[in-house]
Structure 1
């Protein structure tokens, strides 16, 4: 083998010694890959659990809220009779859990109330008549007021009012009138503070 450089034969120990760092590096890389895979699986599991919790909370918030009490305050009143101007009508509950005392509706819960009123009113006085829903203490303004121009007129009213516990409300007319088949409903929609 002339003309070829002399190649020293390597011994087996030297080759094994050079191979060990490469194998250690390969094993370290594999452990890193396993660790990265475990981190990825753990993160995916956490995101799935978070998504499941958000879905559960979303579905729960879409459920109708249950009141703190089994009975939701409400009343339905039917009234036919005479109304004296400036005097509260002597209302009595036909059905419902809201009490009526001396013609006044006793509010026991802070919250939004659906108020519905309809009926026919006839009056003799020239001009107009006002139908008023007001607190009985009369310290605040009217909760609702409707002016009736015709001496025989139909009243239709539906709204939502925020009422406070311990308020008493009553229905009034500004002058003498005859009320026919008045239907008045009051239902608590969303309680804020309730002392049932």
Structure 2
């Protein structure tokens, strides 16, 4: 005679075996995930020693510019040195440059703001017309080791909330 199917409990391994396999698989996945998290935490966390090796500087300035004289910059943060108001480039490479400021003119109705390198000459230049204008610069420049960068104006003006940042992008050569 034909018998109906036996319930899974009577088969070898049956439902108890299936449950055991399911629990084992879940436990393996949890352990795998825990291992990946453990290994990934060190990779994802920024290292203080690594960020200290990347040359960068952040400068804040509010003051007056003098016609034909460099703006006397001083570093607020970062390991890049400033000498006599000029930023000293520590190594060859691509640098992200960001500058933002408000300019208030004294007598003239225009001002030329120039970012100049010791050996390269003019790196960036902008004419500011009218008082109370905001100057913005975000660019990438290739700069050379031991070069100095200076910010110049061609006339007297008040410079407010100047924020200047310089960060080496490719730090493998430093």
Task: Report the TM-score range of the alignment, normalised by the length of the smaller protein.
Answer: 0.5 to 0.7
How far, CA to CA, are the matches of 2:104 and 2:143 in structure 1?
29
Describe the SS at the equivalent of 1:109: coil
In the alignment, does 2:81 pair up with 1:95? no
| Shift in CA distance, 69/155, structure 1 to aligned 2, threshold 3 Å | closer
Specify the alignment match of 2:67 in structure 1: 85
How far, CA to CA, are the matches of 1:95 and 1:81 in structure 2?
19
- Per the normalisation by structure 1, the TM-score is 0.60
Q: Flag structure 1 segments of 5+ consecutive residues without an equivalent.
A: 1-62
In the alignment, does 2:108 pair up with 1:126? yes
- Per the normalisation by structure 2, the TM-score is 0.68
How far 1:125 moved relative to its partner? 2.8
Q: Flag structure 2 segments of 5+ consecutive residues without an equivalent.
A: 1-42, 44-49
Describe the SS at the equivalent of 1:143: strand
Q: Deviations over 1:125-147 (max 9, x none)?
A: 33310111002x3x543100011
Specify the alignment match of 2:55 in structure 1: 73
How far, CA to CA, are the matches of 2:110 and 2:139 in structure 1?
23
How far, CA to CA, are the matches of 1:154 and 1:127 in structure 2?
15
Indicate the structure (1 or 2) with the bigger Cα radius of gyration: 1
Runs (4+) of structure 1 exceeding 6 A deviation are: none
| Shift in CA distance, 86/71, structure 1 to aligned 2, threshold 3 Å | same
Specify the alignment match of 2:133 in structure 1: 153
Specify the alignment match of 1:173 in structure 2: 153
